[in-house]
Amino acid sequence: MNPNTPPVAAPEITVESFTRAFLRELNFGQGVDLDRASANDKYLALSRAVRHYLTTRWLETLRNQYRDQAKVVAYLSAEFLLGPQLENALLASKLDEVARESLANLGLDLDEIRAVEVEPGLGNGGLGRLAACFIDSLATLNVPSIGYGIRYEYGIFKQTFVDGKQVETPDNWLRLGSPWEIPHPENAVEVTFGGRTEAVEGADGARRWIPDWRVTALPYNYMVPGYHNGRVNTLRLWSAKATHEFDLQIFNAGDYAEAVRARTFAENISKVLYPEDSTPQGKELRLQQQYFFVAASLRDFLENVLPDGYDLTKLPDRITWQLNDTHPVIAVPELMRLLIDEKGWTWDDAWAVTQKCFAYTCHTLLPEALEVWSVDLLGRLLPRHLEIIYRINEEFLEVVREAYPGDELRVRRMSIVAEQPERAIRMAHLATVAGFKVNGVAELHSQLLAEKVLHDFAELWPEKFTNVTNGVTPRRFVRMANPGLSGLITEAIGDGWVTDLSQLSRLEPLAEDPEFRRRFREVKGANKRRLAEVLAARDGLEIAGDAMVDAMVKRLHEYKRQSLKLLHIVSMYEGVKSGRTPLESITPRTFVFGAKAAPGYVRAKETIALINAVGRTINEDASLEGRLKVVFPPNYNVTLAEVLIPAADLSEQISLAGKEASGTGNMKFALNGALTIGTDDGANVEIRQLVGDDNFFLFGMTEPEAADLQAKGYDPGAYYESDPELKAALDLLASGAFTGGDKGGAVASLFASLTERDRFMALADFRSYVDAQATVEEAYQDHEEWSRKAILNVARTGFFSSDRSIQDYLDRIWRAEPVTQNH
Ligand code: 73E
């Protein structure tokens, strides 16, 4: 880049100038007049107009980055669940008011235009959304950073219900155009696969890889604006394209059809996001995806971000690659390969640098969620990487043997290569060996990581292990999603909280102020009406505008225990129907579910069907006088979360203790003034410590209690037999009362699974859960006291800002510095 290129002046932030930008985009970009423009034309034109304003800042950020050569954090993640972009861009660039006014002058409504946006669903759930929150915070904290991931052509599937059963349809999010991305074909890189390796004479460790197929990785840049700070970072997502050469070779061989087929094969790599959350399947295409984006990203950094001739022995001063779970861990042998085979380094030199470049975040505790790749598959797809992994392992096991002479059992446990049930590479072990830090995502999770999942490693390298509790961005999840509450907070304490969420603590005294509580309730009420409107328009669902909103939204997984929630609802219903509970004693409540099940996860899909069946019966039962409602809007996503969370009174965080690594929905709800009913699991533990026992409904076994019970031999049948209410609820379900008399299928399957095995001990926690729910009912009767608790939840959860998480990563892991922009 020529350092003398004159900076482009940012367009003025005025209504007139914005109107001009918008109309120019509409006329020249979309090629339509205002009065002929479709809703989508307006959305695209508006987005591009906003993008102009950010672009100037973006170029400036890139120029400064090139000039300063500061340390960069690269966040490597297979998922970025961004959510809608337009409003965030408006807010970050201070254009929100100006755009609204400009559009109003043209007779247009900003909110109507916003409603056209299709969010890029490039993630499954918490892990992908965390990545999105983190890049927002990195930009807001002025940290030079790049997000690297995959531009899936199809994101997480769109969920619909047919007869209450989940049906998946493809999410064609790019169909109507994608105004937030800019392709950069000139920065495309090649990624190779397959083939074999051969010796290189006289080199220490170097081998030659002769791959047998290749694809082009085409980068698309997305802007990641900081909040009101003039920085715009980059998210770079890779798309797979067939290479020219490859085509030509086959065309020349005269096989046109084969050439086209090969093209499709190559381009399949970035076609679709795997829809499994927490339990990835070891599919070949998934490994292709992982290597594809990681190889492209490393090369991009070395060739496009670092200056020519950069001394790579200093690489750790310029970069930390943060590995978002094990999905990008193949980056480790890839960097080794680049340094040894392509740059001619010795093994030891390469390893010394590689070890200082990567840090690993683990997001799980479930054994089935730990990624392993069969040696057979890895060797076929990435033969050179397999060799490198073997040598890393050999040298690592020498270290283990030296530290624990004679302890071959330990060596086997710790080995990166598992021998049973088949030879396979344990990616978490590789990440732990190569990473200079390993972190869990909440206190309890990090503790269990070090004590259980990675115990041997924590014993060998205690200083490697640390915790960084997750957080969420207050820009999207409070400021944007909850304008009512934001206004109230800002009026009370100023607007500094948006970038320093710890300031929320200054709201604490206002919990005692009846007028503030009244206004807080007013905001909640308005948010509930907005939710009711959205659910009516989106799904034709009807909810009361003033009932307690009790929300359980998260991926459907047995460990999260949606079935326990279902048992509670059935039990309440059974109580009324059997006359045990007087109807008048029941607080009007709307249960809101949101959950996608992995398409191949049969039990999860059955649970969805059952929730819908129970919901239908309850909603249609006139004898309840509308006091209980169950709604399950399909296709829960970030867009819906932004409407639902601000309306919620009660947040359900009911996983079996020791199973949910952190949770982040729990934080979003608390920050929006919902009270949590939850187990001592994941970040719930820290939420409860901060808000206090009086403002949190705790129930269930602790992690050690659950582990004890499991060890002693857990018998769910005993709970079923000994708790009459539990038995009545399960029996009612099993009787077919909610399924038109059908006692087979999902009903029988759930009943058997809960009473016979109950892997996540829902029955053991049932009693304590329904008792806690009774306390909730009672507490909700006292509106003043409930509002007090809700306000205290807001005031005391500023800790859960992703800005704080990122500051923790900076201080304790990355050791990178913020760089102030001059703006
Ligand atoms: O507890 C959540 C956590 O809050 C955890 O289940 C989730 O990550 C969140 C952010 O830290 C998570 N997702 C996955 N593993 N843990 C995962 C695994 C494989 C594929 C997709 C997602």
Output the CA 783–ligand 1 centroid distance in Å.
36
Enter the pTM of the model: 0.98
CB of 681 sitting under 6 A from ligand 1: no
- For the packed helices 383-403 and 347-354, what is the interaxial angle rounded to 10 degrees? 80
Query: CA-to-CA distance for 615 and 164, rounded, in angstroms?
Result: 10
Q: Which of 267-281, 443-457, 726-740 has the lowest mean pLDDT?
A: 267-281
Output the CA 132–ligand 1 centroid distance in Å.
13
Task: Give the residue whose CA is nearest to atom 19 of ligand 1.
Answer: 278
Cis peptide before 421 (omega within 30 of 0): yes
Q: Work out which ligand 1 atom sits closest to the CA atom of 660.
A: 1
Pocket test for ligand 1, best of 277, 365, 655 (most atoms within 8 A of CB): 277
Q: Work out which ligand 1 atom sits closest to the CA atom of 79.
A: 21
Q: DSSP secondary structure string, 443-484? A: HHHHHHIIIIITHHHHHH-GGGEEE----B-HIIIIIIT-HH
Q: Which of 240-244, 344-348, 668-672, 778-782 has the lowest mean pLDDT?
A: 240-244
From 418, 435, 452, the end of a domain falls on 435
CB of 133 sitting under 6 A from ligand 1: no
CB of 233 sitting under 6 A from ligand 1: no
Per-residue pLDDT for 795 more than 50? Answer: yes
Statement to judge: residues 786 and 711 lie in one domain: yes
Residue with tokens 């283990």: 400
Question: How much is the pLDDT for 815?
Answer: 87
Give the whole-number percent of the chain exceeding pLDDT 70: 98
Given the residues 234, 326, 664, 797, the one annotated as active site: 664
CB of 312 sitting under 6 A from ligand 1: no
Output the CA 397–ligand 1 centroid distance in Å.
29
Per-residue pLDDT for 823 more than 60? Answer: no
- φ/ψ of residue 680, rounded to 5: -85, 70
CB of 682 sitting under 6 A from ligand 1: yes
Q: Is residue 728 situated within a structural domain?
A: yes
CB of 276 sitting under 6 A from ligand 1: yes
Output the CA 362–ligand 1 centroid distance in Å.
9
Q: Is residue 599 situated within a structural domain?
A: yes
Mean pLDDT of 487-511: 98
Per-residue pLDDT for 694 more than 70? Answer: yes
From 401, 435, 469, the end of a domain falls on 435
Q: Is residue 539 situated within a structural domain?
A: yes
Output the CA 797–ligand 1 centroid distance in Å.
21
Query: Whose CA is closest to 637, among 498, 787, 534, 745?
Result: 534
Q: Is residue 502 situated within a structural domain?
A: no
Query: CA-to-CA distance for 282 and 267, rounded, in angstroms?
Result: 20
CB of 277 sitting under 6 A from ligand 1: yes
First-residue to last-residue Cα distance in the chain: 22
Statement to judge: residues 37 and 108 lie in one domain: yes
- Are 291 and 193 in contact by the 8 Å Cβ rule? The answer is yes
pLDDT band for position 8 (cuts 50, 70, 90): low
CB of 124 sitting under 6 A from ligand 1: yes
Beta strands in 318-367 (DSSP E): 319-324, 358-361
pLDDT band for position 278 (cuts 50, 70, 90): confident
Q: Is 384 a catalytic residue?
A: no
Given the residues 555, 596, 629, 796, the one annotated as active site: 555
Mean pLDDT of 745-766: 98
Q: Is residue 481 situated within a structural domain?
A: no
Query: Whose CA is closest to 356, among 386, 388, 331, 319?
Result: 319
DSSP state of 756: I
Task: Give the residue whose CA is nearest to atom 22 of ligand 1.
Answer: 277
Given the residues 236, 568, 668, 804, the one annotated as active site: 668
Task: Give the residue whose CA is nearest to atom 2 of ligand 1.
Answer: 663
- Are 161 and 154 in contact by the 8 Å Cβ rule? The answer is no
Mean pLDDT of 216-239: 98
- For the packed helices 684-691 and 783-796, what is the interaxial angle rounded to 10 degrees? 110
Give the torsion sign (CA, 239, 244, 249, 253). Answer: positive
Statement to judge: residues 102 and 29 lie in one domain: yes
Per-residue pLDDT for 249 more than 80? Answer: no
Task: Give the residue whose CA is nearest to atom 14 of ligand 1.
Answer: 278
Q: Is residue 222 situated within a structural domain?
A: yes
Per-residue pLDDT for 65 more than 70? Answer: yes
CB of 446 sitting under 6 A from ligand 1: no
Per-residue pLDDT for 360 more than 50? Answer: yes
Output the CA 660–ligand 1 centroid distance in Å.
8
Contacts of 636 (CB under 8 A, 6+ apart): 159, 553, 594, 595, 596
Beta strand pairing call for 181-183 and 165-169: unpaired
CB of 441 sitting under 6 A from ligand 1: yes
Output the CA 462–ligand 1 centroid distance in Å.
24
Mean pLDDT of 695-707: 98
CB of 364 sitting under 6 A from ligand 1: yes
Mean pLDDT of 568-581: 98
Distance of CA 13 to the CA centre of its chain: 33
- Are 222 and 135 in contact by the 8 Å Cβ rule? The answer is no
Give the torsion sign (CA, 679, 680, 686, 692). Answer: positive
Mean pLDDT of 352-366: 97
Residues spanned by the domain of 726: 526-799
Residue 419: exposure state from Cβ atoms within 10 A (0-12, 13-18, ≥19): exposed
From 374, 406, 435, the end of a domain falls on 435
Output the CA 522–ligand 1 centroid distance in Å.
35
Tokens of 312: 């790579």
Per-residue pLDDT for 239 more than 50? Answer: yes
CB of 77 sitting under 6 A from ligand 1: no
CB of 660 sitting under 6 A from ligand 1: yes
CB of 662 sitting under 6 A from ligand 1: yes
CB of 470 sitting under 6 A from ligand 1: yes
Statement to judge: residues 258 and 391 lie in one domain: yes
Q: Is 555 a catalytic residue?
A: yes
Please write the tens of the pLDDT for every residue from 522-545: 999 999 999 999 999 999 999 988
- Are 501 and 798 in contact by the 8 Å Cβ rule? The answer is yes
Output the CA 9–ligand 1 centroid distance in Å.
42
CB of 661 sitting under 6 A from ligand 1: yes
Residue 198: exposure state from Cβ atoms within 10 A (0-12, 13-18, ≥19): exposed
Element (H, E) at 551: strand 548-553
Task: Give the residue whose CA is nearest to atom 15 of ligand 1.
Answer: 278
Statement to judge: residues 683 and 761 lie in one domain: yes
Q: Is residue 588 situated within a structural domain?
A: yes
- Amino acid (1-letter code) at residue 362: C
pLDDT band for position 246 (cuts 50, 70, 90): low
Please write the tens of the pLDDT for every residue from 13-35: 999 999 999 999 999 999 999 99
Angle at the Cα of 501 (from 498 to 504), degrees rounded to 5? 105
Q: Work out which ligand 1 atom sits closest to the CA atom of 361.
A: 11
Angle at the Cα of 145 (from 144 to 151), degrees rounded to 5? 150
Statement to judge: residues 763 and 644 lie in one domain: yes
Statement to judge: residues 424 and 543 lie in one domain: no
Output the CA 278–ligand 1 centroid distance in Å.
5
Q: Work out which ligand 1 atom sits closest to the CA atom of 555.
A: 6
Output the CA 442–ligand 1 centroid distance in Å.
12
Per-residue pLDDT for 448 more than 80? Answer: yes
Statement to judge: residues 661 and 764 lie in one domain: yes
CB of 664 sitting under 6 A from ligand 1: yes
Q: What is the CATH number of the domain that holds 394?
A: 3.40.50.2000
Output the CA 190–ligand 1 centroid distance in Å.
30
Statement to judge: residues 308 and 239 lie in one domain: yes
Task: Give the residue whose CA is nearest to atom 18 of ligand 1.
Answer: 278
Output the CA 14–ligand 1 centroid distance in Å.
42
Distance of CA 352 to the CA centre of its chain: 32
Output the CA 364–ligand 1 centroid distance in Å.
6
Pocket test for ligand 1, best of 278, 362, 656 (most atoms within 8 A of CB): 278
Statement to judge: residues 163 and 105 lie in one domain: no
Total domain count, the chain: 3
Statement to judge: residues 680 and 715 lie in one domain: yes
pLDDT band for position 1 (cuts 50, 70, 90): very low
653: left (phi over 0), alpha (psi -120 to 50) or beta: beta
Strand-pair partners of 81: 121
Q: Which of 281-290, 437-446, 556-565 has the lowest mean pLDDT?
A: 281-290
Per-residue pLDDT for 558 more than 80? Answer: yes
Q: Is 664 a catalytic residue?
A: yes
Pocket test for ligand 1, best of 362, 363, 555 (most atoms within 8 A of CB): 363
- φ/ψ of residue 779, rounded to 5: -65, -35
Mean pLDDT of 425-447: 98
Pocket test for ligand 1, best of 77, 81, 127 (most atoms within 8 A of CB): 127
Query: CA-to-CA distance for 607 and 597, rounded, in angstroms?
Result: 9
- Amino acid (1-letter code) at residue 28: F
Angle at the Cα of 579 (from 575 to 583), degrees rounded to 5? 75
Statement to judge: residues 93 and 178 lie in one domain: no
Strand-pair partners of 221: 182, 236
Render the burial of 62-73: b for 16+ CB within 10 Å, e for the rest: bebbeeeeebbb
Given the residues 151, 158, 318, 363, the one annotated as active site: 363
Q: Is 554 a catalytic residue?
A: yes
Q: Is residue 680 situated within a structural domain?
A: yes
- Amino acid (1-letter code) at residue 605: K
Q: Is 363 a catalytic residue?
A: yes
Please write the tens of the pLDDT for every residue from 153-209: 999 999 999 999 999 999 999 999 999 999 999 999 999 999 999 999 877 788 999
pLDDT band for position 294 (cuts 50, 70, 90): very high
